[in-house]
Every structure is written in structure tokens, then in C-alpha cells.
Amino acid sequence: MNRYMGRWRARTVTVLLTVLLLTPAAHADTVIVAVAANFTKVAEQLAPLFKAETGHDVTYSFGATGQLYTQISQGAPFEVFLAADDERPTRAVTDGFAVDGTVFTYAIGALALYSTTLDLSDGAAVLQGGDFEKLAIADPATAPYGLAAVETIAKLGLTDAIAPKLVTGENITQTLQFIESANAELGFVAASQVVGKSNVWLVPAADYQPIRQDAVLLKTGADSEAAKAYVAFLKSQAALAVIKAAGYGVE
């Protein structure tokens, strides 16, 4: 009796294990997407829609575009790359990390000046007044919003005046966090990060180079149904509506 039970149990376990191992592979896949930090909120909103539409799951890795690109160049397992610029996705193709002909613009970013304490109804005047101790930006070398911030400051002729007051976040989310924690009185972030907040000054689009955010299918995801589905989903009307509502322009 005991021996019979034992054998029966072992067989059940084997069957269960086989079922467990095979089920996920048979139906839904998971796509791993590297996402520029400014797109964090929207990407998270898109995940359940993507799941509902295609049945696939998505895992995100957030970071500064440059940081993500370095990781991709060193073999990170990302399958789709949503950059915050239009330079690195193209470079990924030339450097042989991405699939040729899959680069497209998924969003056009807008720069905003944001504060938790200062009245920014005329942001340019506040910047020129200089009555603040710290101004936060993202690292201009790796984060396009940081570069746009530097361009805006230069356009206002304040580069030298503001330089000693600059603090640099590793990426645009840390920049926002410096402002939210009130350690910096104000700072340049992505408009999408501060939708619905007060004390936001939308920087005139003419003051900085347009922030075209390109996406690309990486070679690691070239054969993945889920990865290709994610790229197609980003171009769908449903996704575009979410992206637009979040404060981005779309093409």
C-alpha cells in the first residue's frame, strides 16, 4: 500500500512539474523592455493594456538612456529599447545590437520646469531672478532631458549664472525626486512626470532641440513573438492615446 502510494505520488509530482514547466511557454511570453526613466509612468500604464490585448507579459528595466545603452552594448537581455532620444536606437542598429528598419518615434517629449514651493507662472523670470539655491537637472551627457535643460538655460543666457547652483540627477526620475524631497527648490523634468501638478512651467518648444524618443527592436528580441507584439502595440491607437494623455506629442 505504502509503496503504491509512493509511486503514485512520484508520478503525480512528475506530471504536475511537467505541466507547470510547459504551460507558460505554450501560451503567453514575457518581453523585457528597457525604458528611459522619463517614460516610467506611461510604460506602467501600458503594461496591463498590452497584457489584455495580446496575452503577453512585460517586464521593464528603467534607467537613463545612456546607462541602458551601455548595458545593451554589454549583452543585457533587453528585447525592446525605448530611448529618450533619437540617437541611441539608431546607434544600436549601426553597432549591431538592434534589428535594421525597426526604429520609430514613439513619443515626442516636452520639457517642464517644476517646483514644489516656487510660483512658476513665469518660469523664465524665476530663472533670471536667480532667487534659489539649487536647480536640479538630469545628467546632460546621458539623459536627453538634461541636455534640453542645458540648452534652455543657455538660450536664456544664464549658463554661467546657474552653473554653481546645478545639481545633477543620474536620470530624470532622480531629478524629480530631488525636487519632490525639496532638496532642490526647482528643476527641469519631463512634462509627462508632472502632469496635473501645480507650479509647472512648460518650456517653450523653441528653446530646445525637440526630444524625439525612438524605440527599436533589439536583436535579442528579433525572434520573440512578445517583443514584436510590444513594438506593434506601441504604434496602436490605444497606446498612442495613453501616451498623448501623459503629456507627450506623437507622430
Partner 1 sequence: MSLGDIWTPVSLTLSLATVNTLILLLIGTPIAWWLARSKNRYRELVGAIVSMPLVLPPTVLGFYLLIALGPNGPGGWIASLWGGRTLAFSFTGLVIGSIFYSLPFMVQPLRNGFTAIGTDALEVASSLGASNWQRFWRVALPLARPGYITGAIMTFAHTVGEFGVVLMIGGNIPGQTKVIAIALYDYVERLQWAQAHIIALGMVVFAFVVIAITLTIDRRINVPMP
Binding site for partner 1 (CB under 8 A): 64, 66-67, 69-70, 73, 133-134, 136, 139, 141-142, 166-170, 178, 181-185
Supply 67's cell numbers.
546607462
As measured in angstroms, the least distance from the Cβ of 195 to partner 1 is 24
- Return all residues near 195 (Cβ < 8 A) that are at least 6 apart: 246, 247
As measured in angstroms, the least distance from the Cβ of 31 to partner 1 is 24
Q: Which is nearer to partner 1, 70 or 105 (CB)?
A: 70
Q: Which is nearer to partner 1, 59 or 183 (CB)?
A: 183
As measured in angstroms, the least distance from the Cβ of 13 to partner 1 is 38
Q: Which is nearer to partner 1, 33 or 72 (CB)?
A: 72
CA distance 247 to 170: 22
As measured in angstroms, the least distance from the Cβ of 64 to partner 1 is 7
CA distance 136 to 225: 40
CA distance 112 to 110: 7
Q: Which is nearer to partner 1, 72 or 227 (CB)?
A: 72
Residue 241's region, left for phi above 0, alpha for psi from -120 to 50, else beta, is alpha
Amino acid sitting at position 142: T
Q: Which is nearer to partner 1, 169 or 221 (CB)?
A: 169
Q: How many residues does the chain have?
A: 251
As measured in angstroms, the least distance from the Cβ of 173 to partner 1 is 12
CA distance 65 to 223: 24
Q: Which is nearer to partner 1, 166 or 191 (CB)?
A: 166
As measured in angstroms, the least distance from the Cβ of 36 to partner 1 is 13
Q: Looking at residue 203, what DSSP letter applies?
A: P
Q: Which is nearer to partner 1, 104 or 132 (CB)?
A: 132
As measured in angstroms, the least distance from the Cβ of 111 to partner 1 is 19
CA distance 165 to 144: 20
- Provide the β-strand partners of residue 113: 188, 201
Amino acid sitting at position 144: P
Positive or negative, the CA dihedral 230, 231, 237, 240 is positive
